[in-house]
A and B are shown apart, each in its own frame.
Chain A
């Protein structure tokens, strides 16, 4: 076996059975990695309409054919399941060390199905796979669970859930290692619904490649391309907090629940040099990474002195920063640690900001919040509410059920930054790339699936040169022209990256000089012995992207799932470079129509066209959709 390990490991938790199946090579060639192979399994094994927290849902974790090899920045993993957060497809990728270790143990994919009768954890030690009792870990934080596991089996990579996952909070995350996560779409809640507290793995078998000499030569080229490109130096020093100048200068720094696009009072806080001085101790990296964009962080003064962790990055910075009107790096570290330990995705922390706006407007009183006063920047209340959400205490129980339930109780739906069923972190009002990518994202409205970052990072010349067939306005993120083309391409490409499983930051689209689809096709060919070129690789991406969208259609979601909150349509930022601009749904919907048609879906209904599925070898999906009447023939 080259590249791929060759085995899918399924654990039937209801029957307490361990099932190992060979990875079918025809499937592997067409679907590449967990996003594809796992998705196909999801389609085949989970009936349409299955409630996501039902034992009949499955959750897959795994890595792709480049993971475990020497390909730089290949140490990732991804996950596929039906999402309890959105009801759409749940997908997510993460770094750390679990993916490579699972591969080195001999498995491409781990599938959890059914539900254990009582709390368990899964121990994978090469060929030995055990379902172990987890009574002594249940109720503990994710970090405490990791300590217990490592005491029992040694320092191994882990996936754990915290109390949030155990309590099936709507978007509880699965924590990878101590600070990486599969978060946005509720992987932790699905694990919790199956009574699985954790997964630990040790692998000694290793990974082979088919044409080693060429592979290693190409790996060196790939490493040089990453290190020699313009973004590398900034990324290596700052990590994703280096992203803030872009948002500041565009006037889209989400502040106080999107009420403002600028945060001038936090100018020093948002300067990427500030965390370098205040909390970063040194660089940190995922497995096989050459960028080391992570940091080991320690708080050296103030109320959170002594708090330390790997990983603090942009999402935490803005969520527990301008979004809640704070500007304290010590608090960012503390909040990150709390979220990771409790097993809560940062996204749901946004609910606290939403409560703060309701409180600001007098729509809720402190009685509604168990006597707490959710005033802007109130760090104590923020930490307390995170805890309440994870343990489903008091008001936490309402918040843990999700945005809709919370709005039913408190009103204020018009202040929830929901785009296509997920709370957004980016503002879609003026930036057409954000509006389109978030609205049409198969996992719900966030930046992870199809936001073409490179429309900003590369010069417009780079886009014109590499895609001469696209309109010249493609490079202008404020123009709707060309956005269907670039978002469509990015969606396919991200599916490839999340199936290889490699790190997005090492690819050319982000870094105008990093590794391109053609580079990865070459690496893949040498690694696996299966011939890939750029066209074939991008077709794999498209196959996965189309199946993901078809899955959503199967689950009942049509054209009308692509909606954004009224707050983006009725309101505008009052200050800054994007002041006064509201989302123009007429223009935006035209982009959505064009994008869907381009993807092979009917713009009116949102259903796939039969020939789209046929052309991509997705015939197996046709029967079900036909039965439901959700396909265009």
Chain B
């Protein structure tokens, strides 16, 4: 069963525990700069967007890799073969979401692997204190996004500008 991580910016409180645990799992050091999941924060707008690789069905990165180091595994997770990878960083340039990263310390291209080595139990999901990261079957994720888009359209049409609180 293919599962993906759903990111909920409305719940994200910006604590960056996801980044910290990610660097721990993959690099055995607490270093948010090396995380493969990123919480992008617009601090003047209060918008916090936790994101990691979308595990595309037809990944851009896989398409452009000149040495074939990127492949989708049996669970549909897009994995970089570190032995093959020459760190040319072409994949970084083509990912439209910016979700492939360059680890500044190891100087390697890295991306979210859904914590494959822990049995596909993404630790960022485990450690989020606000349930802003959640594991869900692929179908649900697509459906959720569709529903969200529909609600947003409705909202704008009804001009429900004031009722923005999500504290309930």
A 86-135 contacts with B by CB, 8 A? 97, 100, 104
User: Given the complex of chains A and B, what is the CA–CA distance between A394 and B4 in angstroms?
Assistant: 61
Binds B, one of A167-175, A280-288, A493-501, A518-526: A280-288
A281 touching B44 in the complex, CB below 8 Å, given contacts A206-B23, A288-B17: no
- Whether B13 pairs with A70 at a CB distance below 8 angstroms is no
- Whether B41 pairs with A285 at a CB distance below 8 angstroms is no
- Min CB–CB distance B148 → chain A (angstroms): 16
Tell me whether B73 is interfacial, beta carbon within 8 Å.
Answer: no
User: Given the complex of chains A and B, what is the CA–CA distance between A301 and B164 in angstroms?
Assistant: 12
User: A310 touches which one: B17, B21, B34, B43 (CB < 8 A)?
Assistant: B43
Q: Mark A272-310, 1 if CB is under 8 A from B, else 0.
A: 000011001111111111111010101011000000101
User: Given the complex of chains A and B, what is the CA–CA distance between A204 and B23 in angstroms?
Assistant: 11
User: Given the complex of chains A and B, what is the CA–CA distance between A155 and B41 in angstroms?
Assistant: 9
Tell me whether B166 is interfacial, beta carbon within 8 Å.
Answer: yes
- Whether B13 pairs with A282 at a CB distance below 8 angstroms is yes
- Whether B164 pairs with A300 at a CB distance below 8 angstroms is yes
Q: Mark B92-110, 1 if CB is under 8 A from A, else 0.
A: 0000000000001100000
- Whether B14 pairs with A104 at a CB distance below 8 angstroms is no
A203 touching B167 in the complex, CB below 8 Å, given contacts A282-B46, A290-B17, A300-B162: no
Q: Mark B29-63, 1 if CB is under 8 A from A, else 0.
A: 11111100000010111100000000000000000
- Whether B33 pairs with A206 at a CB distance below 8 angstroms is yes
Which residue of chain B has its CB nearest to the CB of A216? B24
| Residues of B contacting A: mostly | loop
Q: Which residues of B contact A398 (CB under 8 A)?
A: none
User: B45 touches which one: A100, A206, A223, A308 (CB < 8 A)?
Assistant: A308
Tell me whether B130 is interfacial, beta carbon within 8 Å.
Answer: yes
- Whether B33 pairs with A282 at a CB distance below 8 angstroms is no
User: Given the complex of chains A and B, what is the CA–CA distance between A223 and B123 in angstroms?
Assistant: 15
User: Given the complex of chains A and B, what is the CA–CA distance between A287 and B20 in angstroms?
Assistant: 10
Q: Mark A177-195, 1 if CB is under 8 A from B, else 0.
A: 1100000000000000000
User: A280 touches which one: B27, B31, B167 (CB < 8 A)?
Assistant: B167
Tell me whether B129 is interfacial, beta carbon within 8 Å.
Answer: yes
A292 touching B130 in the complex, CB below 8 Å, given contacts A177-B43, A283-B13: yes
Tell me whether A546 is interfacial, beta carbon within 8 Å.
Answer: no
A301 touching B162 in the complex, CB below 8 Å, given contacts A205-B31, A206-B29: yes
Tell me whether A237 is interfacial, beta carbon within 8 Å.
Answer: yes
- Whether B11 pairs with A104 at a CB distance below 8 angstroms is no
User: Given the complex of chains A and B, what is the CA–CA distance between A209 and B104 in angstroms?
Assistant: 21
User: Given the complex of chains A and B, what is the CA–CA distance between A216 and B20 in angstroms?
Assistant: 12
Which residue of chain A has its CB nearest to the CB of B24? A70
- Whether B46 pairs with A281 at a CB distance below 8 angstroms is yes
A204 touching B167 in the complex, CB below 8 Å, given contacts A70-B21, A292-B15, A308-B45: no
- Whether B34 pairs with A178 at a CB distance below 8 angstroms is no
User: Given the complex of chains A and B, what is the CA–CA distance between A280 and B164 in angstroms?
Assistant: 9
Residues of A within 8 Å of B, CB-based: how many?
45
Which residue of chain B has its CB nearest to the CB of A292? B13
- Whether B105 pairs with A288 at a CB distance below 8 angstroms is no
User: Given the complex of chains A and B, what is the CA–CA distance between A203 and B23 in angstroms?
Assistant: 13
- Whether A287 pairs with B45 at a CB distance below 8 angstroms is no
A155 touching B43 in the complex, CB below 8 Å, given contacts A104-B31, A283-B130, A298-B164: yes
- Min CB–CB distance B24 → chain A (angstroms): 6
Tell me whether B157 is interfacial, beta carbon within 8 Å.
Answer: no
Which residue of chain B has its CB nearest to the CB of A105? B33
Q: Which residues of A contact B167 (CB under 8 A)?
A: 237, 276-277, 280-282
- Whether B33 pairs with A178 at a CB distance below 8 angstroms is no
- Whether A290 pairs with B15 at a CB distance below 8 angstroms is yes
Tell me whether B140 is interfacial, beta carbon within 8 Å.
Answer: no
Q: Which residues of A contact B164 (CB under 8 A)?
A: 281, 298, 300
User: B165 touches which one: A155, A223, A276 (CB < 8 A)?
Assistant: A276
Which residue of chain A has its CB nearest to the CB of B41? A155
- Whether A288 pairs with B46 at a CB distance below 8 angstroms is no
Most buried by B among A206, A208, A209, A227: A206
User: B16 touches which one: A155, A204, A287 (CB < 8 A)?
Assistant: A287
Q: Which residues of B contact A283 (CB under 8 A)?
A: 11, 13, 130
A284 touching B46 in the complex, CB below 8 Å, given contacts A290-B17, A292-B13, A292-B129: yes
- Whether B14 pairs with A285 at a CB distance below 8 angstroms is yes
User: B30 touches which one: A70, A178, A227, A282 (CB < 8 A)?
Assistant: A70
- Min CB–CB distance B13 → chain A (angstroms): 4
User: B20 touches which one: A177, A288, A291 (CB < 8 A)?
Assistant: A288
User: Given the complex of chains A and B, what is the CA–CA distance between A167 and B29 in angstroms?
Assistant: 42
User: Given the complex of chains A and B, what is the CA–CA distance between A292 and B13 in angstroms?
Assistant: 7
Tell me whether A69 is interfacial, beta carbon within 8 Å.
Answer: yes
Q: Which residues of A contact B129 (CB under 8 A)?
A: 223, 227, 285, 289-292
Which residue of chain B has its CB nearest to the CB of A238? B167
Tell me whether A207 is interfacial, beta carbon within 8 Å.
Answer: yes
User: A282 touches which one: B10, B28, B104 (CB < 8 A)?
Assistant: B10
User: Given the complex of chains A and B, what is the CA–CA distance between A205 and B129 in angstroms?
Assistant: 25
A70 touching B20 in the complex, CB below 8 Å, given contacts A282-B166, A282-B167: yes
Which residue of chain B has its CB nearest to the CB of A177? B43
- Whether A178 pairs with B44 at a CB distance below 8 angstroms is yes
Most buried by B among A68, A227, A280, A285: A285
Q: Which residues of B contact A70 (CB under 8 A)?
A: 17, 20-21, 24, 30
User: A281 touches which one: B14, B27, B33, B166 (CB < 8 A)?
Assistant: B166
Which residue of chain B has its CB nearest to the CB of A287? B16
A204 touching B13 in the complex, CB below 8 Å, given contacts A70-B30, A104-B33, A298-B164: no
- Whether A284 pairs with B31 at a CB distance below 8 angstroms is no
A286 touching B166 in the complex, CB below 8 Å, given contacts A204-B31, A206-B23: no
- Min CB–CB distance B27 → chain A (angstroms): 8
User: Given the complex of chains A and B, what is the CA–CA distance between A155 and B28 in angstroms?
Assistant: 25
- Min CB–CB distance B20 → chain A (angstroms): 6
Tell me whether A212 is interfacial, beta carbon within 8 Å.
Answer: yes
- Min CB–CB distance B95 → chain A (angstroms): 19
Q: Which residues of B contact A294 (CB under 8 A)?
A: 13
Which residue of chain B has its CB nearest to the CB of A278? B165
Q: Which residues of A contact B16 (CB under 8 A)?
A: 97, 287-288
User: Given the complex of chains A and B, what is the CA–CA distance between A203 and B24 in angstroms?
Assistant: 16
- Whether B33 pairs with A287 at a CB distance below 8 angstroms is no
User: Given the complex of chains A and B, what is the CA–CA distance between A316 and B30 in angstroms?
Assistant: 34
Q: Mark B122-151, 1 if CB is under 8 A from A, else 0.
A: 000000011000000000000000000000
Q: Which residues of B contact A237 (CB under 8 A)?
A: 167
- 28 pairs from A and B in contact (CB 8 Å cutoff): A69-B30, A70-B17, A70-B24, A104-B31, A104-B32, A155-B43, A205-B105, A206-B29, A206-B31, A206-B33, A206-B34, A207-B29, A207-B31, A223-B129, A227-B129, A237-B167, A281-B165, A282-B46, A283-B11, A285-B14, A285-B15, A287-B16, A288-B15, A289-B13, A291-B129, A292-B13, A310-B43, A310-B46
Sample of 17 further A-B pairs with CB below 8 A, known A155-B41, A308-B45: A68-B30, A104-B30, A205-B105, A206-B27, A206-B33, A207-B31, A208-B29, A223-B129, A281-B46, A281-B165, A282-B167, A283-B130, A284-B14, A290-B15, A290-B129, A291-B129, A294-B13
